[in-house]
Copies of this chain bind each other. A is one copy, B any other.
Amino acid sequence: MNKLVQTGNTARRATTERVQRINDPDRTRADIIAVATREFAEKGLAGARVDEIAALTKTSKRMIYYYFESKEGLYLAVLEECYRAMREIESSLSLDELAPFDALRALVAFTVDYQFSHPDFIRLVMTENIHRGQYLATSKAIQKLNVPAIDGLRRVYERGVASGEFRPGIDLIDLHMSISALCVFNVANRYTFSLIFKRDMGQKRWLNRRSDEICEMVLRFVKNDR
């Protein structure tokens, strides 16, 4: 007997109904952040409701304030986690074995795909920009994991220039911005653009064609046309 049935952080003894608790602060925090991410991404900072987040959590509103102090505190934690996850994925891409054009194409195609399948992240960034970056500006965690973000791109570009395939003189941050801009738009402006131009930008088939187009644009931009 004494079967332990996991229901999130708590487990019940089937026989006695007495609640057995498992202390796991990391998991509790992660659970809250996961739920809050969805809510903030869905409704923005002002539109999200702490009660709603609490209800969807395995724990209670008490714990939200226990760990994050305020709605804004929770929002910032969500934002930091979102950037951290982005960078982690980005840095896991290995492009060094591919020829410059193939590597750049892979990088762009990956970015398109990744952002499309993680709309929450982009929606959070949109929300933060509506707030003029005021919360991100207070974050210490963000300042650290910033510039290495374009290391992958840098290596590819430098190899391309060295081989003569890419034209030199392109500013890397500019290039990164152009790629980001083209990729982010698919998610960020999906609804208004779909409505006005009657394209379903949520379809995977559409995205694949769009991905090719974006790759083409980036590759033509860097291509050395002596």
Chain A residues packing against B (C-beta within 8 Å):
43-47, 123, 125-133, 136-137, 142, 146-147, 149, 171, 173-174, 176-178, 180-182, 184-186, 188-197, 199, 210, 213-214, 216-217, 220-221, 223, 225
Contact = CB atoms under 8 A, between A and B. Distances in A.
B185 A149 contact: no
B125 A192 contact: yes
Copies of the protein in its oligomer:
2
Contacts of A176: 197
B221 A216 contact: yes
A80 B125 CA distance: 25
Nearest to A133: B191
A182 B182 contact: yes
Contacts of A171: 213
A184 B181 CA distance: 8
Given A136-B195, A197-B147, A221-B216, A129 B189 contact: yes
Nearest to A189: B129
Nearest to A125: B192
A181 B191 contact: no
B188 A180 contact: no
Given A142-B196, A184-B185, 8 more contacts: A45-B47, A123-B130, A132-B191, A133-B194, A146-B196, A174-B213, A180-B185, A217-B221
- Which 4 residue pairs of A and B lie closest in terms of their CB atoms, listed nearest first? A133-B191, A181-B185, A46-B47, A46-B46
A90 B141 CA distance: 42
Contacts of A46: 43-44, 46-47
Given A46-B43, A189-B129, A217-B217, A173 B199 contact: yes
Nearest to A223: B220
Contacts of A210: 174, 177
Contact of A178 (B133, B190, B192, B213): B213
Contact of A137 (B47, B136, B195, B221): B195
Contacts of A123: 130
Nearest to A201: B177
Nearest to A150: B197
